């Protein structure tokens, strides 16, 4: 029952408060219109103003205003002496040139054949130290045998002896890149077999 009474009283009071707030807001929103003045001077903004022409002072020079410069004296003249020609004969000065018999060159005396020689290395690249062997601190030697073709290329590469299997692959790869001057027999390049080389794998201190 009390709640119904409060409701009946609160509704009229709320209506009155709402109406008063509406009037206040209407008063704040609608204001008197402002009249703009007609006589207002126009403001002109000029960006590029005219600059007064500058007058430069030009100095007139004449030939009399340039100071006279004395030229330097000429360099001294050096007298050149002519070389005297010898009066004596050339044979008297250096001695008499002895007579000699020129050598006779015939086809039987000249031999252009190339002498025999063994295979000579041209390019030798040392093998790389295997990373696994370096990490483990492994050192050792590896002996390799191979042949040299008439073109100077290594072939038939084999391992004769190796302290560790870690050195085998790098030793073979190094020999594969070697190049030789081929073996010469009677002026003809021939195959050289059974070349032996040894690699020492030592870690740097």
Structural domain total, the chain: 1
Q: Is 195 exposed, middle or buried (0-12, 13-18, 19+ CB in 10 A)?
A: buried
Residue 35 lies in a domain: no
Residue 110 lies in a domain: no
Contact criterion met (CB below 8 Å) for 144 and 172: yes
pLDDT (tens digit per residue) in 169-203: 999 999 999 999 999 998 899 999 999 999 999 98
Q: How many residues does the chain have?
A: 205
pLDDT (tens digit per residue) in 21-55: 888 887 777 655 555 565 656 666 666 556 566 66
Residue 126 lies in a domain: yes
Residue 158 lies in a domain: yes
pLDDT > 90: percent of the chain:
39
pLDDT (tens digit per residue) in 116-170: 899 999 999 899 999 999 999 999 999 999 999 999 999 999 999 999 999 999 9
C-alpha dihedral sign at 10, 15, 19, 21: positive
Contact criterion met (CB below 8 Å) for 146 and 195: yes
Residue 103 lies in a domain: no
What confidence score (pLDDT) does residue 56 get? 64
As beta bridge partners, residue 184 has 117, 189
Distance between CA 109 and CA 96 in Å, rounded? 32
Residue 165 lies in a domain: yes
Residue 189 lies in a domain: yes
pTM score > 0.75 for this model? no
Residue 76 lies in a domain: no
Q: What is the CATH number of the domain that holds 157?
A: 3.30.2420.10
**3-class state of residue 15 by DSSP:** helix
What confidence score (pLDDT) does residue 138 get? 93
| Boundaries of domain holding 148 | 120-201
What confidence score (pLDDT) does residue 128 get? 92
Dihedral angle, C-alpha 116, 118, 122, 123, nearest 10 °: 160
Contacts of 157 (CB under 8 A, 6+ apart): 144, 145, 146, 172, 175, 176
């Amino acid at each position: 029952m009390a709640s119904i009474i409060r409701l009946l009283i609160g509704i009229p009071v709320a209506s009155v408060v709402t109406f008063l707030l509406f009037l206040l807001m209407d008063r704040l929103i609608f204001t008197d219109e402002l009249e703009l003045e007609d006589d207002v001077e126009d403001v002109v903004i000029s960006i590029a103003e005219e600059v007064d022409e500058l007058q430069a002072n030009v100095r007139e020079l004449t030939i009399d205003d340039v100071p006279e410069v004395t030229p330097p004296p000429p360099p001294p003249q050096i007298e050149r002496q002519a070389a005297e020609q010898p009066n004596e004969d050339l044979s008297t000065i250096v001695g008499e040139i002895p007579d000699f018999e020129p050598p006779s060159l015939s086809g039987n005396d000249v031999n252009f054949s190339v002498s025999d020689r063994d295979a000579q290395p041209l390019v030798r690249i040392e093998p790389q130290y295997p990373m696994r062997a370096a990490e483990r601190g492994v050192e050792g030697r590896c002996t390799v045998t191979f042949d040299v073709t008439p073109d100077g290329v290594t072939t038939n590469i084999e391992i004769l002896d190796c302290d560790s299997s870690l050195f085998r692959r790098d030793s073979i790869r190094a020999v594969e890149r070697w190049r030789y001057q081929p073996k010469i027999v009677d002026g003809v390049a021939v195959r050289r077999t059974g070349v032996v080389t040894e690699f020492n794998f030592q870690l740097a201190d």
